[in-house]
Structure 1
Amino acid sequence: ATTTTAAGTTAAGTATTTAAGTRQARPSNLPAPLTSFIGRDGDLARIDTLFAAGRLVTVLGPGGAGKTRLAVEAARRHRHEYRDGAWMIDLASVTEPAKVGAAVLAGIGLRGGALFEASARLRDDPAGELDVLADQLGGRESLLVVDNCEHLIDAVAHLIAALLARCAGLRVLATSREPLAIDGEALVPLGPLTLPEPDADVEQARRTASVRLFAERAAAVRPGFDVDERNLGEVLRVVRGLDGMPLALELAAARLRTLSLAGLSDGLSDRFRLLVTGSRTALPRHRTLGAVIAWSWELLNEHERTLAERVSILPGGVTLASASALCAGTAVPAAEIPELLAGLVDRSLLQLAPGPGRYRMLETIREYGLARLAEQGALTGVRDLTARYFAELVARHDPLLRGPEQLDALHVLRAEYDNVLAALRHLCDTRDAGGAIGLAVNLTWYWQMLGRHPDAAYWLGEAVALPAEPPGVERDIAEGVLLLNTIATQSALISDSIVERREELRALTGRLLSRPELPGFAGALTALRLASLEGTEASPAIIQRLADGPDVWLAGLAHLFRAQSAENDGHLDQVRGDVTAALERFVRAGDRWGQAAALPLRALLRQYDGDLDGALADLNEAKRLAREFGSLSLSDEFFIDLRWIDLHVRLGETARATEMIASARERALRSASPELAILLDAREAGLLVRAGDLERARELIESAETGLSEQRPFGGDHGQALVGSVRATLCLELGDGPGAEEALGRAYAEAVGSRDLPIVATVAVTVAELAASYGHYRDVAVVLGAAARLRGAHDRTDPQVRTLSGRGRAALGGECFAEAYETGWQLDAPAALSRADPALLRGAADGAARSRVE
């Protein structure tokens, strides 16, 4: 490789041409190279050979050897071969071993949680980072370029080993100063670029990679530069003295902007004579590179050195604003900083980074800058200044996440996230409890929007573990948010922990609720969620208080929260008012996230109203808005797909629904969460029963039942209820009344256990079908009415409801059917729940059987 990294703009994707001549996009974030790639053909060929036999290749070498550039070039040349993308994961800025998974999630543009999961309620156990990654990467054909692994070697090794074991289509190209040392790893150790012989002539020298690199980079700063008879001796002295180290060659070439080649050669010779005083245990190439960096540093003027040292504190890159902030209080004039940054780029000490106005410093150079700050005794002070700057940046941008500037604020926080976490780590390390808690609380909504519950749980845990006197309301908020995010990352509501901490939780909720004004956004959100978790009677009052309050965004959130709860309880009149109010307020606030969360609920209402096209439009818009925040998680996509499938069935587009089921099943089976296919099998089995393909329906429902017996996804009870309901329908078509009764009995018990009334309503419709099989059409009408009461709405576009209603009217007459249906509809929720019990039909079934015998 010719340079240690390839900085450039981030590519949204690449495209290849298929056999049919069409262009097929390949997603990727590989940086676009700003300079040509020189040498390393043998190493590229070795990587290709090793990937033909294995799935993990690690490029080894010291800092400055060109590991990153080689890995990126190898990935770039073969990115079209990976159907689901080639992704660059730079771990240089990650300081916590526990954050490696989050870095990979961020690198491939994924949200860590499901935006629609509260409405979907497909499972009670939100996935951890490894599960989310395996969901997204499992079965897909992807390449991860995992860069700068050495400082997190154990954590990286464990994560990559786990992903490779679970994701058969995944390949990993890592760079590190030491091997990962896991099964299946193949190594590509990097030596220096090929060097010319001491007596090489011009043509021989030009053919070597080290001379080609030096000459090309020199020509970039001194147009017209070339290797010829006049300068050959000095070029040989430089490239041989630099041991063919790519970074050293680039730093030296950059000096030709201000030095002659002779001056460069003499200066380097002086530096090399000093190496004998350095560490004799260091590898020669390490000492060579260190000498070149030190010499480059010393050739900077005072202001350039100050700026370079201070921006080395930033693992996530530097902007004009952050550089200016870090130079505050120094002799560096603010007006000179743009020119100084450009000068550091010219000298190869900074590189352009993805995104306008952003620069990054290579890790090898950054390490030198940090050492300089430490030598001066300035490291802690600069870190203090950095922490204050980024705490203020987060405090300014957090409110913007809930308004019309949302996407811009999200872009800033994403770009600065590594620097923000470095600031948070410093605050924790220096025991600044107030600063750490304040910064963590201000990150609350950013974490929530992107589903980064593990990040929230980790950093809030670090912050609240710091001693602080007095505790104060901000600590209460932090503890509440910590609990909520811990719940989101662990088993179902971590019930044991909640029981153990019941009194602590109740006291915490009480302290927050006792305040006349809930303290800020985070305080309001925490109080609302904790009160709901506790089941306190104050919860409705808090929601109303926020819904009527002056904060438009919080009012929208309160209406949305109440709508989601009301839908679960079958109170669709409440849902209708709250969804309308939530959308109106989120639109007024300019918040796309809130709209994306509320639209699926409005789609459900439109579906019940018979406006199926409007429902489809709402789901499409929700997905479009959600994608503005990043790729949807698998459960997000699955939830939307299930809703789309159902709408196409209602529209009579069964073929389209079947295609969507097949596509969604393929993605589920290729993922690390194949249990998602269980509901798809059940859904397709129901369609096949209606189409008369009973044998294939039997195969699918047996597959779903097998999956449920091996695990209990979606909270178990939801899945059992839905699958059992389809099994009962199949039994009825096969003329197996007792089998249908048995399946419905289990399904009804599971549905009641779910405490989700719309799920009970789904089972109740099949109970009505069982009643129809016995010829008891008054029961059919009453149970259909009870099902409508449980879901909170009539469902006249559902094919099963429509068919049963038609049969009931034909048997009873329209007036009698309507009267019986109204009887069920007028029941209260507990009575409707009881009326849907299939056990009530047993007597009718026994009577029908006796009649047939007689």
Structure 2
Amino acid sequence: MVGPGGAGKTRLAVEAARHHRTEYRDGAWMIDLASVTEPTKVGAALLAAIGLRGSALFEASAKLCGDARGELDLLADQLGGRECLLVVDNCEHLIDAVAHLVSALLARCAGLRVLATSREPLAIDGESLVLLGPLALPAPHTDVARARRSPSVLLFSERAAAVRPGFDVDERNLGDVLRVVRSLDGLPLALELAAARLRTLSLSDLAAGLSDRFRLLTTGSRTAAPRHRTLRAVIAWSWDLLGADARTVAERIAVLPGGVTPASATAVCAGTAVPAADVRDLLADLVDRSLLHLAPDTGRYRMLETIREYGLERLAEEDTPTDVRDLAARHFAELVARQDPLLRGPDQLDALHALHAEYDNVLAALRHLHDAGDADRATGLAVNLIWCWRMLGRYADAAYWLGAAVALPVEQPSAERDIAEGMLLLNFLATPSTLVVDVSEERGEELRALVGRLRNHPELPGVGGALLAARLAALDADDAPSTFLQRLADGPDPWLAGLARMFRAHFAENEAHLDQVRSDVPAALECFDRAGDRWALAKALPLRALLRQYDGDLDGALADLDEAKRLARTFGSLSLDDEVFIDLRRVDVHERLDDDARAGRLVAAARERARRSASPELAIVLDAREAGLCVRTGDLERARELVESAEAGLSEQLPVVGLHGRALVATARAALCLALGDGPGAEEALDRAYAAAVDSRDMPFAATVVVTVAGLAALHGRHRDAAGLLGAAARLRGAHDRTDPQVRALSSRSRHALGDDRFAEAYGAGWNQDPAAALAHTDPARLRCVPPPSAARPELGAAVQR
């Protein structure tokens, strides 16, 4: 039985022997070698355990002093005719002597079985290994019921109840309990030591104090062996058994919080006496000694956090942590620089997996460079991570580390620093569902200053430079946008050409210029296909699906969205926001196909995933979206619950909820009010929705609000206004959206009330405006400024035309 110190090997071995003792005719013996310090005393310890007592033991010892063969003969004589089990505990410090003795005894004693516990295998013929690791940990965001069933929580709570009667895991203390068990890796001895501290500490103080776990966990059982009384002693026992080279490797790889590979271990051991060719063997030695765990499917090594903290302490004693972290930072900066270009080609999946596997180590490298004040290297590494962050959906990480990098003082400006600052200024990475973002007016001066500096750079490097240049081109007031994007679109790099066309298509779609979208989207898809970038294909297909949706090809739209979903799944851990974005588009298509049941299942599944995420905005958006579906199907009570839930979340999370989310919630409230016949409530909600939609400067999104404004006009009997608003909504999206259920229903009502000719006239008046005029003329407040239509003069309701 092999495992790290404190994993519970002894206890499990004793219980196993007790459970199986009836299977051995002559019983079982326990031999604890913890107190045996010399290899030559192992045989005597076994002789004592199997029944030689008093004078017989002294006589045997006198005869056999220094005679290993004689000890073996005597043990074989004693055990030869027996069917018995020997539990040989704590073998690691005498591993060679125990291995030779046990191997020889097993060969001569047919009825003998041995259960040995150690921090490394005996490595003899016939050995079957049971790897005993830490107890299973609960998921980070689990609920109380699941947490209570987790082995690590169960052990901690049982031991805590022993020192604090009545202790139990509940909603109030769940967070602190999870912090404790996860901080201690589920290591049984560490959990027991931690629980014992509840005699004098509150649970919250215990959880907070584990940042200095070796000082805190020092109150073990008085009856335990000295090396099991404190957490430090548990680890030190294994550490002191290492050879010099193995100890060097163990201490240096402790700076790698995200796991270890032979390459990263070799990098951090550069400049030491450890030969590079020996590093792989030394890692295997640390695995054998239970100080590392090897994941066979990935070939990566992991050191338990508790062991890693001890290694960092030992490294600090040698006054070299900064040098070792510098070596690690150099290694991971080079790794990112190699992998980043591969993210945009046929090898992108392997590159993404490589960066995902090393992600925690890369962040540790960034942290070290930042703490060391190395602005150039920190900024260079952060800029090289921009596309990785984009693909993994790590927008918060991007904003934090780009901000930290540009906050460092520098002697000379650089292109990388301007790129990092530009990405932050444009808030590019905070928008998961599109490549387009808006810049607030108050940051205009900063933007203009940045554009001035960027023009002094002859060329902006890397994908970050291309992204920033494309976005800034679209914000320029002169003819630079079309010139710059056209130059990229016509250039030799297929990926950059696809990117330029996707940018241009998004800009055009945002401004309701669908002719440009229809030209650029197929070309972008062809470019990304030629470059071998499946991730970019997954991002571009929803835009083609939108065009097909507007054209009435709902099956084609659904096929594009399903293909985008399939491609996205091949990348594994993508942003939940990106996945839900595609799912909501699929919901919309299923509604248009009158498959409300399928749409409801998709929304419910997306809401369940969002519930387990840490994204409050996503949960709010999904509540609002499902509320709209419930209004459509007539389940108004459920719609009311969801709207109130979304509004409550909005009031709590207003600073982090974007304009689209605010408008969506208000539009859901308006739709519910319209279904209930509550005109004033709908007016109030639409005022909020319209204001947020206008501020978003997203014309197609504003169109969704305007369609609901048309519903308000219809509620008041203003069917000419409703028709004009539907036409204006079509202008804002750049297309007639005749498969939209709400548009269909409102068009039918208005056409029935007005007749075909008058409906077409009013609709055309809205459609024939330019987008800016259409947006200005669709303010719901305008409906309150015009008298309601009378039987004699129905044309007075034409607010859109005014």
Which residues in structure 2 correspond to 1:510-525 (within 5 Å)?
A: 510-525=452-467
Structure 2: how far apart are the matches of 1:170 and 1:139? Answer: 10
Structure 1: how far apart are the matches of 2:287 and 2:440? Answer: 54
| Correspondence for 2:48 | none
| Correspondence for 2:3 | 3
Q: CA deviation at 1:332?
A: 5.4
Q: CA deviation at 1:521?
A: 2.0
Counterpart selection for 2:491 from 523, 527, 549: 549
Counterpart selection for 2:675 from 727, 730, 748: 730
Matching of residue 38 in structure 1 with residue 12 in structure 2: yes
| Correspondence for 1:558 | 500
Q: Which amino acid aligns with 1:718?
A: A
**TM-superposition CA deviations, 1:35-66 (whole Å, max 9, x none):** 99936989xxxxxxxxxxxxxxxxxxxxx999
**TM-superposition CA deviations, 1:565-602 (whole Å, max 9, x none):** 33332222223333323322222222233223222222
| Correspondence for 2:19 | none
Q: CA deviation at 1:403?
A: 1.6
Would the alpha carbon gap of residues 72 and 652 (structure 1) be closer, same or farther in structure 2, given more than 3 Å must change?
Answer: farther
| Correspondence for 2:182 | 174
Counterpart selection for 1:75 from 136, 142, 163: 136
Quick check: 1:166–1:672 contact (8 Å CA) kept in 2? Answer: no
Quick check: 1:454–1:489 contact (8 Å CA) kept in 2? Answer: no
Could you say what secondary structure the match of 2:242 adopts? helix
Would the alpha carbon gap of residues 289 and 345 (structure 1) be closer, same or farther in structure 2, given more than 3 Å must change?
Answer: closer
Quick check: 1:669–1:677 contact (8 Å CA) kept in 2? Answer: yes
| Correspondence for 1:441 | 383
Counterpart selection for 1:620 from 519, 542, 562: 562
| Correspondence for 1:237 | none
| Correspondence for 1:760 | 702
Quick check: 2:717–2:788 contact (8 Å CA) kept in 1? Answer: no
Could you say what secondary structure the match of 1:471 adopts? coil
- The structure whose Rg is larger is 2
Q: CA deviation at 1:530?
A: 5.3
**Unaligned regions of 5+ residues in structure 1, if any?**
7-32, 43-63, 77-85, 88-107, 109-135, 148-162, 196-239, 246-282
Q: Which amino acid aligns with 2:239?
A: I
Q: TM-score, normalised to structure 1's length?
A: 0.62
Structure 2: how far apart are the matches of 1:183 and 1:70? Answer: 33
Segment of structure 1 superposing worse, 592-601 or 842-851: 842-851
**Unaligned regions of 5+ residues in structure 2, if any?**
17-92, 94-116, 120-129, 154-169, 185-189, 211-215, 795-802
Could you say what secondary structure the match of 2:182 adopts? strand
Q: CA deviation at 1:511?
A: 1.6
Counterpart selection for 1:847 from 783, 787, 790: 790
Quick check: 1:718–1:750 contact (8 Å CA) kept in 2? Answer: yes
Q: Which amino acid aligns with 2:182?
A: A
**TM-superposition CA deviations, 1:93-133 (whole Å, max 9, x none):** xxxxxxxxxxxxxxx7xxxxxxxxxxxxxxxxxxxxxxxxx
Q: Which amino acid aligns with 1:722?
A: T
Q: CA deviation at 1:370?
A: 5.9
Would the alpha carbon gap of residues 73 and 517 (structure 1) be closer, same or farther in structure 2, given more than 3 Å must change?
Answer: closer
Structure 2: how far apart are the matches of 1:169 and 1:364? Answer: 18
Counterpart selection for 2:537 from 574, 581, 595: 595
Q: TM-score, normalised to structure 2's length?
A: 0.65
Would the alpha carbon gap of residues 580 and 410 (structure 1) be closer, same or farther in structure 2, given more than 3 Å must change?
Answer: same
Q: Which amino acid aligns with 1:523?
A: G
Matching of residue 605 in structure 1 with residue 569 in structure 2: no
Structure 2: how far apart are the matches of 1:291 and 1:380? Answer: 26
**TM-superposition CA deviations, 1:335-381 (whole Å, max 9, x none):** 55444443443444543246433234456665676677667776555
| Correspondence for 2:363 | 421
| Correspondence for 1:103 | none
Quick check: 1:312–1:369 contact (8 Å CA) kept in 2? Answer: yes
**TM-superposition CA deviations, 1:55-95 (whole Å, max 9, x none):** xxxxxxxxx9999x99975437xxxxxxxxx43xxxxxxxx
| Correspondence for 1:296 | 242
Structure 1: how far apart are the matches of 2:293 and 2:762? Answer: 76
Counterpart selection for 2:664 from 714, 719, 726: 719
Q: Which amino acid aligns with 1:760?
A: A
Counterpart selection for 1:474 from 387, 401, 416: 416
The percent identity for this pair of structures is 59
**TM-superposition CA deviations, 1:521-548 (whole Å, max 9, x none):** 2222233445667888755554444333
Quick check: 1:595–1:622 contact (8 Å CA) kept in 2? Answer: yes
Would the alpha carbon gap of residues 843 and 296 (structure 1) be closer, same or farther in structure 2, given more than 3 Å must change?
Answer: closer
Would the alpha carbon gap of residues 367 and 512 (structure 1) be closer, same or farther in structure 2, given more than 3 Å must change?
Answer: same
Structure 1: how far apart are the matches of 2:248 and 2:574? Answer: 43
Quick check: 1:140–1:671 contact (8 Å CA) kept in 2? Answer: no
Quick check: 1:403–1:589 contact (8 Å CA) kept in 2? Answer: yes
Would the alpha carbon gap of residues 410 and 642 (structure 1) be closer, same or farther in structure 2, given more than 3 Å must change?
Answer: closer
Q: CA deviation at 1:797?
A: 0.9
Structure 2: how far apart are the matches of 1:687 and 1:372? Answer: 60
Q: Which amino acid aligns with 1:293?
A: W
Could you say what secondary structure the match of 1:352 adopts? strand
Q: CA deviation at 1:793?
A: 0.8
Would the alpha carbon gap of residues 284 and 831 (structure 1) be closer, same or farther in structure 2, given more than 3 Å must change?
Answer: closer
Could you say what secondary structure the match of 1:549 adopts? coil
Quick check: 2:295–2:301 contact (8 Å CA) kept in 1? Answer: yes
| Correspondence for 2:111 | none
Would the alpha carbon gap of residues 808 and 532 (structure 1) be closer, same or farther in structure 2, given more than 3 Å must change?
Answer: same
| Correspondence for 1:412 | 354
Q: Which amino acid aligns with 1:297?
A: G
Q: Which amino acid aligns with 2:790?
A: G
Quick check: 2:176–2:204 contact (8 Å CA) kept in 1? Answer: no
Counterpart selection for 1:391 from 333, 336, 339: 333
Q: CA deviation at 1:792?
A: 0.8
Quick check: 2:501–2:520 contact (8 Å CA) kept in 1? Answer: yes
Q: CA deviation at 1:799?
A: 2.0
Could you say what secondary structure the match of 1:359 adopts? strand
| Correspondence for 1:831 | 773
Would the alpha carbon gap of residues 349 and 611 (structure 1) be closer, same or farther in structure 2, given more than 3 Å must change?
Answer: same
Matching of residue 575 in structure 1 with residue 575 in structure 2: no
Which residues in structure 2 correspond to 1:372-391 (within 5 Å)?
A: 381-391=323-333
Q: Which amino acid aligns with 1:570?
A: A
Structure 1: how far apart are the matches of 2:380 and 2:725? Answer: 54
Q: CA deviation at 1:623?
A: 3.1
Quick check: 1:457–1:486 contact (8 Å CA) kept in 2? Answer: no
| Correspondence for 1:121 | none
Q: Which amino acid aligns with 2:671?
A: V
Q: Which amino acid aligns with 1:507?
A: A
Q: Which amino acid aligns with 1:290?
A: A
Structure 1: how far apart are the matches of 2:777 and 2:540? Answer: 32
Could you say what secondary structure the match of 2:240 adopts? helix
Could you say what secondary structure the match of 1:550 adopts? coil
Would the alpha carbon gap of residues 633 and 164 (structure 1) be closer, same or farther in structure 2, given more than 3 Å must change?
Answer: farther
Q: CA deviation at 1:483?
A: 4.4
Q: Which amino acid aligns with 2:136?
A: A
Q: CA deviation at 1:471?
A: 2.6
Structure 2: how far apart are the matches of 1:320 and 1:393? Answer: 14
Q: CA deviation at 1:412?
A: 1.6
Q: CA deviation at 1:409?
A: 1.3
Quick check: 1:316–1:417 contact (8 Å CA) kept in 2? Answer: yes
Would the alpha carbon gap of residues 404 and 844 (structure 1) be closer, same or farther in structure 2, given more than 3 Å must change?
Answer: same
Q: CA deviation at 1:398?
A: 1.3
**TM-superposition CA deviations, 1:608-638 (whole Å, max 9, x none):** 1222222223333333333444445554454
Structure 2: how far apart are the matches of 1:70 and 1:40? Answer: 16
Structure 2: how far apart are the matches of 1:464 and 1:526? Answer: 16
Quick check: 1:456–1:485 contact (8 Å CA) kept in 2? Answer: no
Would the alpha carbon gap of residues 39 and 633 (structure 1) be closer, same or farther in structure 2, given more than 3 Å must change?
Answer: farther
Which residues in structure 2 correspond to 1:350-369 (within 5 Å)?
A: 350-353=292-295, 355-361=297-303
Q: Which amino acid aligns with 1:75?
A: A
**TM-superposition CA deviations, 1:543-571 (whole Å, max 9, x none):** 44433333332333333333333333222
Structure 2: how far apart are the matches of 1:693 and 1:369? Answer: 60
Q: CA deviation at 1:650?
A: 1.0
